[in-house]
Amino acid sequence: MNMFIKSITLDEVGRIITLVQDQFSDYLIKDESKKMLKEMAMKALGDAFVKLEVAKTSFRITVAEGTEEASKAIIEKEILLGIEMAMAFMSQNK
């Protein structure tokens, strides 16, 4: 996961902060990427999802109060699954 993601943490107000590796910054700020991230977060978190904010090398997910730790674990799991799926796809297309 470290090849793509620098860290996934909670900030001082409980938002999930995901820092991506610098080489993915151009991809992260594309509208299609923002839409995909928002859809993924909404689907994975359900009612806990409040808001997604995307910057050049990070994205921040605001979740319902009291769901921060559980939501962070869900996001970590979803990102890992996405990376695994992408790696499997790439290995099939060699």
What backbone torsions phi and psi does residue 64 show, to the nearest 5 degrees? -60, 145
Residue with tokens 């997604």: 52
The answer on pLDDT for 87 being more than 70 is yes
Among residues 61, 51, 44, the alpha carbon closest in space to that of 8 is found at: 61
Among residues 14, 12, 26, 20, the alpha carbon closest in space to that of 61 is found at: 14
What pairs with residue 36 in β-bridges? Answer: none
Domain encompassing residue 19: 5-92
Among residues 82, 68, 73, the alpha carbon closest in space to that of 24 is found at: 82
Residue 41: which pLDDT band, with cuts at 50, 70 and 90?
very high
Per-residue pLDDT tens over the stretch 51-61: 999 999 999 99
Q: How many domains does the chain have?
A: 1
Provide the CATH number for the domain around residue 61.
Answer: 3.30.1360.40
